Structure 1
Amino acid sequence: MQAATQARQRIVSTAPIDRVAIEILEKFAPVETSPAPDEDTVLGMLDGAVALVCRGEGKVTARMIAACPTLRVVGRTGVGYDSVDVAALTARRIPLVYAPVSGFAVAEGAMALLLALVKKILLCDSVVKAGQWNRRYEFQTGDMTGHTFGIVGLGRIGMHLARLARPFEMTILGYDPYVPPEAAREGGVEPVSLEELLARSDYVSLHLPLNPETRGLINRARIETMKPGAILVNTARGGVIESLDVLADALESGRLSAVGLDVFPAEPPDSSHRIFRHPNLLCAPHVVGTSEMAMERIYRSMATDMLAVLENRQPKFCVNPQVFG
């Protein structure tokens, strides 16, 4: 009877996952991938599921959680979990494990966007390819050295970015109400208020989770307090900026000289939006944290923690550890 029960168990993923994760998870039960990430399709696969992997566009809703009495753990690829109903999981005492192990890749991506914008790499590239060599006299590239860099959010990613920024001999400011000032200073970051950071920084990079406190944090009013001609980079979550309209207005007015985005309020974004016609916008399709090394670490970490829960052991990274109390 026990063997028959075990055979019905399964682990479901909302989207395909890497082989390294499958090999770890299949030590407990077979892994099945949903043909589509929408709620109804995934719901149809949850009978007997003991674990659910939330990847890509997939979501874990209260309806899904309620429909799966056998569910014991949910795993989220990456560090963001705004697509998961954490309250519903916690009410069922189901742990949500995640994988905050790719911060280096996101920090590198943020720095890459910033450097490309400061040095006007896209403009330089287009001028040469168009045979317009003499346009080199029409513009100047910018500098990192001697400027002020503001990092909003001093978690793993923000602090790694600060380490990458130090060799450029910039003044590094940081805002994070949950990080002790002495911890910021130890990382070479001057802790300041958000208002002071925006007013003083030539370049600003956002590294915040998306939650009710941070949604729309960078709004029209705050952008208006930024240094004229500042550069803004967002590799966190699209929703921490009020809207693409606000960014487009800031670019068109010159309040922002350039913007780098890896994330958007809605993904994929509406490519017909006027912001995408602005020459000083540099975009990526939410990929800066998905380098080869980062993804291997993410899948291995998440799957290892999910297996730990299934084997009645404590996971390393858990969003709601109170479920073990």
Structure 2
Amino acid sequence: MNRIALVPGADVWEEIFTDKHLDRLRQLGELVVNPVPGNPDKHRIAELVREADIVITSWGCPPFDSDILREAKHLKFVAHAAGTVKGIVTPELIERGVRVSSANDPLGVGVAETALGLTITALKRMWELARSTREGFWDEGKERIREMFDITIGVVGAGRAGRHYIRLLKQFEVDIVVYDPILSHEEAVTLGCRKVELEELLRQSEVVSIHAPSIPETNHMFNARTLSLMKDNAILVNTARGSLIHEEDLVRELAKGRFIACLDITEQEPPSKDHPFRSLPNVILIPHIAGAVNNGKQRLGRFVADEIGRYLAGEALEGEVNLQNLHVIA
């Protein structure tokens, strides 16, 4: 029987895996769990993965270096119950030929849904109208409302979250354009959108939603030059990574009152209490909730249990990561 080691701290995995998910894992193999809360150190991980064929990781797990792999002589598959696997993958793991799967797909569902919510909220100017009605007004500001109709929405990055956001947008009468250097024109058409260059996307779009990975090539891709290309009264949504935006440049552009920014993340989290994002009237700032929160984390548990089932059945994995392309993915 295959041995499955669930190695994140108990406070982490208990929020991801319900009793139903754990029962499913026990049907698939001998399950060993980490009973201790807090981020596990390498010594604890090494103990847990001894004799394990499959390891489940998540937030707070250390890199699987030679110290850990020395004990994991039977390890063939790592199922990561979180997004990026860059924090756990090492050259030693790659050399060992261990297959790795990420829960980026279910995580991307929550990101995309949040991006859509921010898109509609900003178009409807809900945060502004909610404030004015509390202050005793009623109709003031309604003339600035826009609907999800006959507008162009630009999607920057067609990874898991970006693609799901596009699928959600297809329920509305909007034109969708996408910028992603890796995506082909044919793939874009299949997704139901049109591939364009970044500059064209920024000039055309009423809404720009960022879903690109945080890699050196995307660092501060939204800067003084690119932000200046955006339309007046446009909406910028970032549920990806804070590093994609040059914050000082964005603050200067927002101070002009030209457009709205909806930010789920910032470069430093939390931002300082006097950060302009907290006080600018054309910013919607929320505390990094776009991914999996509360019951949303259980979507990851279901995915990982199913993914291990697919692995053991010899089926194609839905979240397998091509470790040779690790430098260009989220």
TM over 0.5: yes
Q: CA separation of 1:243/1:55 partners in 2, compared to 1, >3 Å: closer, same or farther?
A: farther
Read off the aligned partner of 1:192 and give its amino acid letter.
Answer: V
Query: Which residue of 248, 252, 272 maps to 2:251?
Result: 248
182-191 vs 13-22, greater mean Cα deviation: 13-22
Partner of 1:228: 232
- 2:8 is the counterpart of 1:13: yes
Read off the aligned partner of 1:83 and give its amino acid letter.
Answer: G
Q: Separation in 1 of the partners of 2:269 and 2:79?
A: 21
More relative contact order in 1 or in 2 (CA 8 Å, sep 6+)?
A: 1
Q: Separation in 2 of the partners of 1:25 and 1:137?
A: 53
Q: Is the 8 A contact 2:8 2:57 kept in 1?
A: yes
Q: Using structure 2 for the length normalisation, give the TM-score.
A: 0.79
Q: Separation in 1 of the partners of 2:260 and 2:141?
A: 20
Q: CA separation of 1:24/1:247 partners in 2, compared to 1, >3 Å: closer, same or farther?
A: farther
How many residues in Structure 1 have an aligned counterpart in Structure 2? 308
Partner of 1:211: 215
Q: CA separation of 1:70/1:215 partners in 2, compared to 1, >3 Å: closer, same or farther?
A: farther
Q: Separation in 2 of the partners of 1:205 and 1:193?
A: 15
**Partner of 2:289: helix, strand, or coil?**
coil
Partner of 2:41: 42
Q: CA separation of 1:66/1:93 partners in 2, compared to 1, >3 Å: closer, same or farther?
A: farther
Deviation at 1:92, TM superposition (A): 3.1
Structure 2: runs of 5+ lacking an equivalent: 325-330
Partner of 2:328: none
Describe the superposition over 1:178-224 as per-residue Cα deviations: whole angstroms up to 9, x where unpaired.
22212212333111111211122121001122233333332332212
Deviation at 1:52, TM superposition (A): 4.7
Cα RMSD of the aligned pairs, angstroms, is 3.2
Partner of 2:300: 298
Q: CA separation of 1:290/1:138 partners in 2, compared to 1, >3 Å: closer, same or farther?
A: closer
Q: Separation in 1 of the partners of 2:97 and 2:196?
A: 38
**Partner of 1:133: helix, strand, or coil?**
coil
Q: Separation in 1 of the partners of 2:87 and 2:212?
A: 15
Partner of 1:66: 67
Q: Separation in 1 of the partners of 2:117 and 2:299?
A: 21
Partner of 1:115: 120
Q: Is the 8 A contact 1:104 1:160 kept in 2?
A: yes
Q: How does 1:307-322 map to 2 (within 5 A)?
A: 313=314, 316=317, 317-320=319-322
Read off the aligned partner of 1:18 and give its amino acid letter.
Answer: F
**Partner of 2:154: helix, strand, or coil?**
strand
Q: Is the 8 A contact 2:7 2:48 kept in 1?
A: no
Q: Separation in 1 of the partners of 2:305 and 2:273?
A: 35
- 2:149 is the counterpart of 1:145: yes
Q: CA separation of 1:283/1:189 partners in 2, compared to 1, >3 Å: closer, same or farther?
A: same
Describe the superposition over 1:61-118 as per-residue Cα deviations: whole angstroms up to 9, x where unpaired.
255x533423324332244334333544213322221121344432221111011111
Partner of 1:172: 176
Q: Is the 8 A contact 2:99 2:320 kept in 1?
A: yes
Describe the superposition over 1:161-182 as per-residue Cα deviations: whole angstroms up to 9, x where unpaired.
2233245432211112222212
Q: Is the 8 A contact 1:208 1:236 kept in 2?
A: yes
Q: Separation in 2 of the partners of 1:295 and 1:250?
A: 35
Q: Using structure 1 for the length normalisation, give the TM-score.
A: 0.80
Q: Separation in 1 of the partners of 2:88 and 2:219?
A: 16
Q: Is the 8 A contact 2:41 2:62 kept in 1?
A: no
**Partner of 2:192: helix, strand, or coil?**
coil
Q: How does 1:87-106 map to 2 (within 5 A)?
A: 87-99=91-103, 100-106=105-111
Read off the aligned partner of 1:122 and give its amino acid letter.
Answer: W
**Partner of 1:205: helix, strand, or coil?**
strand
Describe the superposition over 1:228-278 as per-residue Cα deviations: whole angstroms up to 9, x where unpaired.
332111122232x234333322211234x2111223334444444221122
Read off the aligned partner of 1:242 and give its amino acid letter.
Answer: I
133-142 vs 99-108, greater mean Cα deviation: 133-142
Percent identity, please: 27
Q: Separation in 1 of the partners of 2:147 and 2:32?
A: 53
Partner of 2:22: 22
Read off the aligned partner of 1:67 and give its amino acid letter.
Answer: I
Describe the superposition over 1:262-320 as per-residue Cα deviations: whole angstroms up to 9, x where unpaired.
233344444442211222222333333326775333212223434666x6956612213
Q: Separation in 2 of the partners of 1:226 and 1:129?
A: 31
Structure 1: runs of 5+ lacking an equivalent: none
